[in-house]
Structure 1
Amino acid sequence: MLEELMATLADPLDRLLGKKTADALDEAFEIRTVEDLLRHYPHRYASAGKELAEKEPPEGEHITIIARVASAAVVKMKNRPGQMLRVSLATDSQTVDVTFFNPQKVRHVIKPGVRAMFSGTVKYFRGKWSLTHPSYLILPEPRVGEEDSVVPLASIKGAGDLAGLARANQDPGAELDLSVFDRALIPLYPATREVESWTIMRCVRQVLDQLDPIEEPLPAETRAEHGFIGLDEALRTVHLPDTKEDIERSQDRLRFDEALSLQLVLAMRRHDNSERVAPACAPVAGGIADQFEEMLPFTLTEGQQAVAEEISSDLARPHPMSRLLQGEVGSGKTIVALRAMLQVVDAGYQCALLAPTEVLANQHARSLRKMMGPLAAGGELGSAEHSTRIALLTGSLPVAAKRAALLEAVTGDAGIVIGTHALIQDNVEFFNLGMVVVDEQHRFGVEQRDQLRSRAREGLSPHLLVMTATPIPRTIAMTVLGDLEVSTLRELPRGRTPIKSSVVPAKQKPQWVDRAWERIREDVAAGRQAYVVCSRIGDGEQGAGEDQFTEEKQPETKSAVDVFEELSSGPLADLRVGLLHGRLPSDEKDVVMSAFNVGDIDVLVCTTVVEVGVDVPNATVMVIVDAERFGVSQLHQLRGRVGRGKHQGLCILVTGSNPGGPAYERLSAVAATNDGFELAQLDLATRREGDILGAAQSGTTSNLRLLSLMAHGDILESAREFAQGIVDSDPSLEDHPALASMVTAALDSDRIEYLEKS
């Protein structure tokens, strides 16, 4: 056996478990230290002979169950020669079928009445799930008054990947303490085919036996206020609880740790931001911003005015603004952002507007120039007395146009520079960058955003305004975007009519699909335009959202190219139908979008390239084909492209999913409301939280193992308040070393690096 050593949380596992086991844990879960292992919590617990897993686990999931063999019989295989062992397992809520294809090896071990742990991949057949040739471990019967349950590994009965339990420690005479299986509650861990739950359980037991007492990071008064147990007790008890109350108490404490780790990082970022120096851009009386407001043919909504004042006040301070501007689709975020940028230009600085796609960058350039008129014609004949220029910089610009844009940026002639990722390339320099506006912030990596912020002059940090038309649930705003002040636009501009939406089941009601094309013809005859959105471009490509929702067998999807051809030669043959997708050359995209803008195209068949920012007020109808392939927020974004003018907007969600199924119900929920904040909660409820965090944070899977963003808002609030108080008094956590170590405890190093950079 390995020499008995005492361990700390920071110790590498190869020192305690041996290189082979440590390497396997690293490869499967990136578990490298004692703390990594102890933070790999059980995802459920089994009682003696009773399986507490979900009743219908997902197809393909690797699960571990504990059950008693109800029956086991060798039968002939139907479709090929040979025999198999058909086993029925009894749990507290159901029977589970198990099949072994080598009955001679297991028939004398897997017998009726034995209690065992089985681990394998879930497969469904005719609505019932089963395990095929799982690995297994025969468990001892619960014993009373018998203390010695340590047995040699060589005498353990089991097979399949379970053999790794015995092989993991090759030392002669190695033993396994089977007393864990006599416990009232047996921990079951997230596992893989290579590293089974029982292997993790053995490793945890071995580490806990050698672990030094863990230093307590929380003050005694904080633990008393919340009724928390100590960290040492929590990390031990969560793996080896005696009662369900033990599980709850340990998880409550560890859940708070996860929230606190994140909130400490965010509080430190907020403090760091407050220490930076930014250009103070106070409003200038009679400047471009004032002239722009005088030119507007309408009055800003009360919400727009209130948010504009918040931003204006931030810009006037000598510390960088970090503000999120969120609002419903069509709520007027762009005009609020433009007003802010002109305040910065008045102060003698430049602004960079970063868009996620070239289509949107071009759209912004066109709409801002149109709104500003002579104010955007600086240096040209007929320009206003106080004016600037708007430069557009994208990767596909002709060389001459790109050089001209680069020159306008570096000389300062362009007060506003609009672009895509090309804006953050090394060869782009600004004369005096004072503000960065990021449209649809979730589309950009933090490294990209950080690069752009570094373009300011030495010693200055530009102000940052992040815009999103995807409303952020409060708990997400407290975590993912917890270092940003949040401004919200809820009301639509005056005269804007809410969009009507309807769901069309294509298989059951094909005549309704025909009616959708008729409706487009009617609106075009009335002088208006329409979109037809598809989930993919052409053959061999996954549809948008195709990997997000797998609860139903998805039907074949229609590509944009095919739909364009069908409509052009069929129901819309006499209309002007255009095609727009991401594979078109950039100049062709711009030509198509410009033609649609000016009304030379009646119906635009497209992909999600029009999802954000595209503004054609004359478009009134949108048909979304294979709507089940899109996410909730994505559908809300897409339908926001219609009804942006004085006419009623209509969105038709065409789906191949069956009425009454989860996908159809999700679409019905989208059709039932235009409230993006309500839909954001639905989106959070119907997607894995790790996906939400991944999209909005670093792109890695979530490391919030116990904390639910849906269920634990109160814990996030408490952790945020505590973290802010600590960081206010000790910004670097020098006086709180245990809390400083918590910053990396529940979150991986890549995510911390992400949070610090952003």
Structure 2
Amino acid sequence: MKKKLAKIGLHTEADLLLHLPLRYEDETRIVTLGRGPWADAVQVEVIVRSAEIQMRPRRQLVVHATDASGSEHELTLRFFSFYPNQQAVFAPGAKIRAFGEVRHGFFGLEMVHPRFHAVAEDEPLPEGLTPIYPTTAGVSNNALRKLIGNALKYGDLADTLSEALRAQFELPEFARCLRFLHAPPAGTPQLPLENRGHPAWRRMKFDEVLAQQLSLRRAYLARREQGAPVLQAEGLLAGRLLAQLPFGLTGAQRRAVEEILRDLAAPHPMQRLLQGDVGAGKTIVAALAACQAIEAGWQAAFMAPTEILAEQHYLKLRAWLEPLGVRVAWLSGSLKSKAKREQLAATAAEAQLVVGTHALIQDGVDFAKLGLAIVDEQHRFGVAQRLALRNKGNNPHQLMMSATPIPRTLAMSYYADLDVTVLDELPPGRTPIRTRLVADSRRDDVVAFVRKLVAEGRQAYWVCPLIEESETLQLQTAEETYAQLLADLPELTVGLVHGRLKAAEKQAVMAAFAAGEIQVLVATTVIEVGVDVPNASLMVIEHAERFGLSQLHQLRGRVGRGQYESSCVLIYAGPLGEIARQRLKIIFEHTDGFEIARQDLQLRGPGEFVGSRQSGVPLLRYADLEADADLIEAARELAENLLRDDLAAAERHLRRWLGTREELLKS
């Protein structure tokens, strides 16, 4: 039983206390069979007339019973999954209480797979609603109710919040709320319980959010106590870089640079998240941060999740910085042995900026003097990977970047251990992108549109979700699309790039597309981020219904980077499911990445949204980021106050909600 309970996160008495019901069933009353109509699940009490195992149309246990109230109404209980000894419970004359939905079947009223038990003589009805808990195979709700009942009798229900704090935040007592939620009295309205709007739920949600905020804030403060390289410089290198750029910084970029440079000059490690919409100009901000580290006599590392993205950064940063005398090294898994040895030697000696993929964190990679670690598309890396990069130096500063805008409530909760800088302004010259939804039956129209566009001198992307045919997802693949477009557009140069190509082949195709030698590039999502070809003004996305909102927004952001009017065509195959329909509607109606991210959060929930960032972050089981934003704000403020003024109370609260499993964030 211990292992089974562990599967649902139940290790201690405190875990049992906080294992709250999903829903409730009202077994406090019995409904007679003559009542009707049968809209909700109800409890009936019947006398068994007969029970038999039938083999047609499928094997089932069929129990015929009459109303125990003495009426002539009959009810059939059907069990398609049952134990051999179950038939004995339904001996003729046995009194049974069954809970479930009554429906009108072919032979009259019936219940399929009701919850049931044989009734003892003069057995009273329950005094409260019956809680239904999340569980796993081998752990019944009855067993959970007994375990939780014992925990409520003998467990620690002392309040972790003082009476003054409860009054300040208008919160009821913890013990009273907990007992109420595990055993609501008869007559309690079920809707406020099940939609978690009851004041007792509000207390649980506040406590949960407070524990999360305490954990993250404590991790943040612990890092502030650590030492880090002081990267202070006059800004000469950054000034020279800005002077040679063909564009000026936006106000948002200037503010971001000021915040980051101030952090780098401090004696404790920077942990800053730089987020901005597609095309907001995060790379130049990161480059200016690297300039400060380099001028201060330290190295900077720049890690990206894919080889194509990492190489795009490498080429851009090298073009900006090598003319200024900065030595830039390149590390990726595809390097040949000789080149790899050369780059490793440079990293361990004279290289001032090292750009690469996960190769940067492999054994055998030694930095001479790493002072700043920059991680692009940070949500694609796990906590351990970001920590591994930091461990390549002596507690270097860390700048994490994300082109997936993070909704404010998510930033307040899951990213509360980081300082967050937002680039909320796009550089001038970004042209609006027109989004079109096109059914796959009109593919010929899209091909004609591509032909017309290329005739005007523009280029196009055509993105597919798979590389080769899949039996489970019968989608148009990149290779098939490439072959089809070669046939449909023989007068054009069509290229193909995907993740399974060798690095040199990918580089050659991307370089040819950037140079205008390839007019239509068929690709998988390897071009999702970082690719910048101003002449490309059309993005076609095949089977758009299969992509997430973040991916669709990122892909759309590959165009609109030049002076030409740009379009994104989303080809979809019906019939569409409800979630896919909502995603396409959102991406069609909105271009603001923050609004798209907010609606994406509502569709997916925080767990999927933050991805591998979850590791080490206390998850929210009960609070809702949108509906309970006010609780997050209040808990955030209280967490700071408790850690400053009442550390013992903070520790008590953390022990209750996170127990021995709390992980201080190290990333």
- TM value normalised by structure 1: 0.77
**Which of the residues 133, 154, 179 maps onto 1:236?**
179
**1:561-640 equivalences in 2 (<5 Å):** 561-569=479-487, 571-640=488-557
Quote the offset at 1:77 in angstroms.
7.8
Q: In structure 2, what is the equivalent of residue 267 of structure 1? A: 217
Name the CA shift for 1:67/1:405 in 2 (closer, same or farther; >3 Å). farther
* Counterpart residue number, 2:665: 756
Aligned-partner Cα distance in 1 for 2:3–2:545: 41
1:433–1:462 CA contact under 8 A, matched in 2:
yes
1:310 maps to which of 250, 259, 275 = 259
Q: Which residue of 2 aligns with 1:165?
A: none
Residues 1:425 and 2:362 aligned together: yes
- With over 3 angstroms needed to count, the CA separation of the structure-2 counterparts of 1:139 and 1:720, relative to structure 1, is farther
Mark the CA change 1:654 to 1:138 in structure 2 (over 3 Å): closer, same or farther: same
Unaligned 5+ runs, structure 1 = 1-20, 52-63, 120-129, 150-178, 377-382, 544-555
> What does the per-residue CA deviation read over 1:489-517, in whole Å, with 9 as the maximum and x for residues that have no partner?
122211111211111122xxx23x21111
By how many angstroms is 1:87 displaced?
A: 9.4
* Residues 397/232 of structure 1: CA separation in 2 closer, same or farther (3 Å cut): same
Greater mean alpha carbon deviation, residues 598-607 or residues 102-111: 102-111
Match of residue 400 from structure 2:
466
Structure 1 counterpart of 2:178, one-letter code = L
CA distance in 1, matches of 2:329, 2:377: 20
The equivalent of 2:624 in structure 1 is: 708
Amino acid at match of 1:231: F
Give the secondary structure class of the aligned counterpart of 1:535. Answer: coil
Find the aligned partners of 1:748 and 1:670 in 2 and give their Cα distance: 41
Residue identity matched to 2:5: L
What is the letter of the counterpart of residue 638 of structure 2? Answer: F
Hey, what does 2:35 align to over in structure 1? none
Partner of 2:72: none
How far has the Cα of 1:592 moved from its partner? Answer: 2.0
Is 1:560 aligned to 2:478, yes or no? yes
The Cα shift of 1:112 comes to 13
Q: Contact between 1:117 and 1:138, CA under 8 Å: does it hold in 2?
A: no
Conserved 8 A contact 1:364-1:418: yes
CA distance in structure 1 between the aligned counterparts of 2:45 and 2:403, rounded to whole angstroms: 55
Q: 1:363-512 to 2 correspondence within 5 Å?
A: 363-370=312-319, 372=320, 375-376=321-322, 383-384=323-324, 387-411=325-349, 413-457=350-394, 461-506=395-440, 510-511=441-442
Q: Which stretch has the larger CA shift, 184-193 or 442-451?
A: 184-193
Amino acid at match of 1:526: E
Note if contact 1:49-1:115 (Cα within 8 Å) is conserved in structure 2: no
Residue number among 239, 249, 252 corresponding to 2:202 in the alignment: 252
- Residue 107 of structure 1: CA displacement? 9.7
1:68 positional shift:
3.9
Cα distance change on mapping 1:213 and 1:488 into 2, 3 Å: closer
Structure 1 pair 584–68 and aligned structure 2 pair: CA distance change class (3 A): farther
Q: Distance in 1 between matches of 2:608 and 2:88?
A: 41
Quick one: which of 600, 605, 610 aligns to 1:688? Answer: 605
How far has the Cα of 1:337 moved from its partner?
1.1
**1:158 alignment counterpart:** none
Which secondary structure does the structure 1 equivalent of 2:352 belong to? strand
How high is the sequence identity, in percent, across the aligned residues?
Answer: 41
In structure 1, distance between residues paired with 2:641 and 2:347? 42
Distance 1:239 1:428, change over 3 A: same
Which residue identity lines up with residue 169 of structure 2 in the other structure? Answer: H
Alpha-carbon spacing, 1:596–1:251, altered in 2? closer, same or farther (3 Å): same
- Counterparts of 1:109 and 1:501, CA distance in 2: 67
Match of 2:385, SS state, is helix
Give the Cα separation in 2 of the matches to 1:74 and 1:35. 44
Do the aligned residues in 1 keep the contact of 2:13 with 2:155 (CA within 8 Å)? no
1:627-648 CA distance string (max 9 Å, x none): 1111111111111111111112
User: Structure 2 CA distance, aligned partners of 1:213 and 1:24?
Assistant: 24
**Deviation per residue, 1:306-333 (Å, 9 max, x gap):** 2222222222222222211111101111
Asked if structure 1 preserves the Cα contact closer than 8 Å seen for 2:376 and 2:401, the reply is yes
1:76–1:605 Cα change, 3 Å = farther
Does residue 301 (structure 1) correspond to residue 250 (structure 2)? The answer is yes
The separation in 2 between residues aligned to 1:101 and 1:337, in whole angstroms, is 61
SS of corresponding position for 1:312: helix
Contact 1:231 1:253 in 2 (8 A): yes
Letter of the 2:359 counterpart: A
The reply to whether residue 743 of structure 1 matches residue 654 of structure 2 is yes
Q: Which amino acid aligns with 1:723?
A: A
Q: Measure how far apart 1:348 and its partner are.
A: 0.9
- Post-superposition CA distance 1:573-619 (Å, at most 9, x none): 33222222222222222222222222222222111111111222221
Given candidates 149, 173, 187, the residue that maps to 1:205 is 149
Distance 1:657 1:502, change over 3 A: same
1:74·1:83 contact (CA, 8 Å) conserved in 2? Answer: no
Question: Partners in 1 of 2:573 and 2:548 — Cα distance?
Answer: 15
Moved more, 248-257 or 41-50: 41-50
Letter in 1 for 2:139: V
Does 2:187 match 1:278? no
* Residue in structure 2 matched with residue 523 of structure 1 by the alignment: 453
Q: Does 1:105 align with 2:16?
A: no
The answer to whether the 8 A contact 2:47-2:96 is kept is: no
CA deviation after TM superposition for structure 1 residue 97, in Å: 9.8
Aligned length in residues: 633
Aligned with 1:348: secondary structure?
coil
Q: Is the 8 A contact 1:312 1:340 kept in 2?
A: yes
Quick one: which amino acid aligns to residue 409 of structure 2? T
Distance, in Å, in 2 between the alignment partners of 1:193 and 1:118 is 21
- Partner amino acid, structure 1, of 2:657: A
State the partner residue of 1:224: 167
What CA distance in whole angstroms lies between the structure 1 residues aligned with 2:595 and 2:77? Answer: 42
Amino acid at match of 1:22: K
Task: Please tell me whether the aligned partners of residues 355 and 439 of structure 1 are also in contact (alpha carbons under 8 angstroms).
Answer: yes
Aligned-pair distance for 1:692? Answer: 2.6
On the 8 A contact 1:442/1:696 being kept in 2, the answer is yes
Q: Note the alpha carbon deviations across 1:366-403, whole angstroms, 9 max, x for none.
A: 11122x1xx41xxxxxx54xx21111101111111111
Q: Is residue 24 of structure 2 the alignment partner of residue 42 of structure 1?
A: no
Alpha-carbon contact 1:361-1:392 (below 8 Å) kept: no
Contact conserved, 2:14 with 2:156, CA < 8 A, in 1? no
Which residue of 2 is the match for residue 18 of structure 1? none
Partner Cα separation in structure 2 for residue 317 and residue 207 of structure 1 = 49
Q: Give me the whole-angstrom Cα distance separating, in 1, the residues matched to 2:464 and 2:626.
A: 31
Runs of 4+ in 1 over 6 A off after TM superposition: 69-79, 101-104, 109-113
Partner of 1:122: none
Instruction: Please list the CA deviations of residues 399-433 of structure 1 after superposition, one character each: whole Å capped at 9, or x if unmatched.
Output: 1111111111111x221111111111121111111
The answer to whether the Cα contact below 8 Å between 2:332 and 2:359 also exists between their aligned partners in 1 is yes
2:444 corresponds to: 514
**Code of the aligned partner of 2:345:** L
**Root mean square deviation of aligned Cα:** 3.4
User: 1:410 is aligned with what amino acid?
Assistant: A
Q: Secondary structure at the match of 1:644?
A: coil
CA distance in 2, matches of 1:574, 1:49: 77
Residues in 1 aligned to 2:53 and 2:542: alpha-carbon distance in whole angstroms? 48
Q: Quick check: 1:703–1:747 contact (8 Å CA) kept in 2?
A: no
2:11 corresponds to: 32
**What's the TM-score once normalised by structure 2's chain length?**
0.86
How far apart are 1:688 and its partner, in Å? 3.2
Does the residue aligned with 1:414 lie in a helix, a strand or coil?
coil
User: CA 1:532/1:138 → structure 2, altered by over 3 Å: closer, same or farther?
Assistant: same
Within 2, Cα distance between the matches of 1:525 and 1:327?
34
Which amino acid in structure 1 is aligned with residue 416 of structure 2?
G
Q: For 1:70 and 1:661, locate their aligned partners in 2 and report how far apart those are by CA, in whole Å.
A: 41
